[in-house]
């Protein structure tokens, strides 16, 4: 017998493909906030406004182009605001909006979970790879 909770959740789990299906909007949002660079930018901005170069230095491995694309996308989604100060050269800062700030506790939990389990996951991957030679999964 199915529980009421199961019945309520099941429609959310069906694949997208029908116009107006609830999953179609969820995927778009999760693609943005689930992107590794977006997560790292949001976590960095959770401690306050940052200049572009400060953000770039604090996020190891991100290129100038990728950071530019990431902050533009986050700004477009209403998660980050960009402020340009009339100086020479112009100074630009980025900070989280209220909507962006509401994500920080969730992303910090995810980051903490990742740190806590990264070694176990690494061992599991190594064990799987040893048991399944020739199957490259990334």
So what's the pLDDT on residue 2? 44
CATH class of 34-131: mainly alpha
Sign, CA dihedral 31-34-39-40, equals negative
Residue spans of the chain under pLDDT 50: 1-3, 5-14
Give the 3-state secondary structure of residue 85: strand
If we measure between CA atoms, which residue out of 43, 24, 26 comes closest to residue 106? 43
Helix (H) or strand (E) holding 78: none
Alpha helix locations (H) across 49-97? 52-58, 64-76
Res 34: pLDDT: 78
CA angle 100, 39, 99 (to 5 degrees): 10
> pTM, whole model, 2 decimals?
0.71
> Is 80 in a helix, a strand, or coil?
strand
| pLDDT in the model for residue 77 | 92
Helices (H) and strands (E) in the chain, counts: 6, 3
State how far the Cα of 134 lies from the Cα of 138, in Å rounded to an integer.
13
What does the pLDDT read at residue 20?
64
Q: Which pLDDT score is estimated for 18?
A: 65
């Amino acid at each position: 017998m199915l529980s009421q909770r199961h019945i309520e959740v099941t429609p959310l789990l069906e694949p997208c493909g029908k116009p107006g299906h609830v999953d179609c909007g969820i995927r778009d949002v999760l693609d943005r906030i689930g992107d590794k660079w977006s997560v790292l930018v949001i976590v960095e901005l959770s401690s306050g406004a940052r200049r572009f170069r400060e953000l770039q230095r604090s996020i190891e491995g991100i290129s100038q182009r990728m950071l530019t694309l990431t902050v533009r996308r986050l700004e477009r989604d209403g998660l980050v605001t960009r402020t340009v100060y009339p100086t020479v050269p112009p100074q630009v800062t980025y900070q989280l909006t209220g909507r962006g700030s509401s994500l920080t506790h969730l992303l910090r939990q995810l980051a903490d979970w990742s740190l806590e389990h990264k070694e176990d996951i690494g061992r599991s991957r190594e064990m799987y790879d040893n048991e399944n030679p020739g199957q490259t999964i990334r």
